[in-house]
Amino acid sequence: MSGFLIVKNIHVDLGEFKIEDITFIVDEKDYVCVIGPTGSGKTILVETIAGLHKPRKGVIILDGRDITSLPPEKRNIGIVYQDYALFPHMTVFDNIAFGLKKRISKKDEILREVKAIAQRLEIEHLLHRKPTTLSGGEQQRVALARALIVRPKLLLMDEPFSALDFNTRTRLRKLVREVVSEYGTTVIHVTHDFEDVWSLARKVIVMYRGRILQYDTVEEVFNRPCCELVASFVDINVMSGIVVFSNDKTIVRVGDIEIVSKDRVCEGHRVKVFIRPERILISKSKPVSKFDNVVRGFIEDLERQGNILRVQVRIGSICLKCISTPNVLGSLDLELGSSVYICFRSSDVRLLVES
């Protein structure tokens, strides 16, 4: 195996929680998000890589060096927590300079470096303050500066934005994306928030009950989940069908309807069909162009969730989840039981051959 971070066959048992047979490789400068339901072992995984828990079995290799039995201080891995974990007895400056002081002794050099990163993260005006007097967003910038200033080989983030409000989170996400790419840092980021995944990650690890279910690119995991568990976790429509025609396009029979996909699968195969809810358009009249899949059904369920509206449309024996906005649905004058057309592109329909 080769790669920047190699986690191979790791087992950790903490009694209440455990992770088993964890294997994955992260390339240099990659951004990997770890998702999964609560209690699936995401934090243990991150803390094991950081060196807090000793694995019962397995190897961790970072940049060609076996770090499995090294203490945390010898690993050169930075960590940022949801609750920031800023040292309350130090000023913001001392918090950021903390790791640097261990590496260099020249005071003016420390001052210069701290100022530079503080400027980049827009916290230069806070350097003399105590962390407890800062807002959540400011505290998280300080935590980020403290971790990044020593230029760690790997940056671990455990739900770094989950304690922040929506606007702060959005702004911080943008900042993290920019700064991480400027510093060329490799990142593993635990999150519950799919927004983090979509706007930051290149790859995703899906964990469940201490095991990795799927590790792939964001595109693959969210459009072609490897199993039912991942599918339900990433909230995608899953159906079973049989390929009835295959040429430059594939036609799959699902229940009473036929669905066109751009994925190539040979005739006669049983396949799983995936369509993301946000890729489905709801329309009152039959649309003229663009969509090569148009099916008629009726609205079975409506549920408002924040700014979006989750709609379930029934087409014979199958039921599809769609996402719309109250605005759209209001203007179309739709309600429960309304007859609608649902439309989606063949390029948004993903197929996976069932074994």
Residues near another protein (CB under 8 A) are 47, 50-52, 71-73, 75-79, 81, 83, 85, 87-89, 98-99, 102-103, 146-147, 150, 152
Give me the count of residues in the chain.
355
User: Which candidate, 188, 248, 186, places its Cα nearest to that of 32?
Assistant: 188
Q: Which is nearer to another protein, 114 or 320 (CB)?
A: 114
- DSSP letters, 118-143, are HHHTT-GGGTTS-GGGS-HHHHHHHH
Q: Which is nearer to another protein, 17 or 341 (CB)?
A: 17
Q: Which is nearer to another protein, 87 or 245 (CB)?
A: 87
Under DSSP, is residue 75 helix (H, G, I), strand (E, B) or coil? coil
CB of 152 to another protein, least distance (A): 8
Neighbours of 327 (CB within 10 A): 10
3-state secondary structure 283-336: ECCCCCCCCCEEEEEEEEEEEEECCEEEEEEEECCEEEEEEECHHHHHHCCCCC
Q: What is the dihedral of CA 319, 323, 329, 332, to 10 degrees?
A: -70
Q: Which is nearer to another protein, 142 or 271 (CB)?
A: 142
Instruction: Write out the two tokens for 191.
Output: 């999150």
CB of 73 to another protein, least distance (A): 5
- Give the strand order in the sheet containing 318-324: 281-283, 339-344, 293-305, 308-315, 318-324
CA atoms within 13 A on the CB side of 268: 0
Q: Which is nearer to another protein, 51 or 137 (CB)?
A: 51
CB of 91 to another protein, least distance (A): 13
| Cβ-proximal residues to 320 (8 Å cutoff; 6+ apart), any chain | 237, 275, 277, 280, 297, 312, 313, 342
Q: Which is nearer to another protein, 81 or 208 (CB)?
A: 81
Q: How far, in Å, are 204, 242, 272, 277, 346 from residue 236 at the CA level?
A: 16, 19, 12, 6, 16
CB of 47 to another protein, least distance (A): 7
Q: Which is nearer to another protein, 62 or 231 (CB)?
A: 62
CB of 67 to another protein, least distance (A): 12
CB of 227 to another protein, least distance (A): 33
CB of 197 to another protein, least distance (A): 24
